[in-house]
Each structure stands twice: as structure tokens, then as C-alpha cells.
Homo-oligomer: A and B are copies of this chain.
Amino acid sequence: MLIEQASAAGWQVQKRPAQMTRRLDFSSYSETRVFLDQLAELSERTGYFPNLNFGKTHVNVSIAARGDSLDQEELDFASQVDALAGQPQGQS
């Protein structure tokens, strides 16, 4: 996924510090938990652990760039998050 696609997919992309954040809403806590469990497995598979801020029916995912700007691996992780959330990848 490219930076332009990230914005189209609903990510807020910031330059300083370089990071991308997305809020995902769910209709029930059990849906939120399913998403969080899947994201945990994705993190364990990829070794990438985004900062997550969540309540009963929302999750804010923040992917901070390890370097000066977001790299391809971080952008690809973001599109995998979109896939988990059932959003078409790279499209809003």
C-alpha cells in the first residue's frame, strides 16, 4: 500500500513524528475482541506491535515509523489491519 492509498483507506498519516493512525468502530464488544485477537496473532506473526488504544466498541491503531518516515513494511502492516477489519485494502 502506498501513502496515498493509506489516506484513502482511512488512515491519518502524519509526518513529524512519522506515524499513521486509524480508528475502527465495532457494533459490540465481542466484535472488538475478535479484531483484537486477530491483530494480536498478526503482531506475533510479523513481530510488529502497533500501539492500540481501545474501549468497548472502538480501536485506535497507531503505527509509528521506526525510521524517519513510514517504510513499506509498516504500510503493508496497515493494509493487513484493514483486511482484518473487513475493509477493502487500500480503498476507502
Contacts and interface: CB of A to CB of B under 8 A. Distances in A.
Contact of A43 (B29, B43, B51, B53): B29
Contacts of A53: 51-53
B54 A29 contact: no
Contact of A49 (B36, B43, B51, B56): B56
A54 B51 contact: yes
A23 interface: no
Interface string A7-46: 0000000000000000000000100010010001001100
A70 to B, nearest CB: 17
Interface of A: 29, 33, 36, 40, 43-44, 49-56
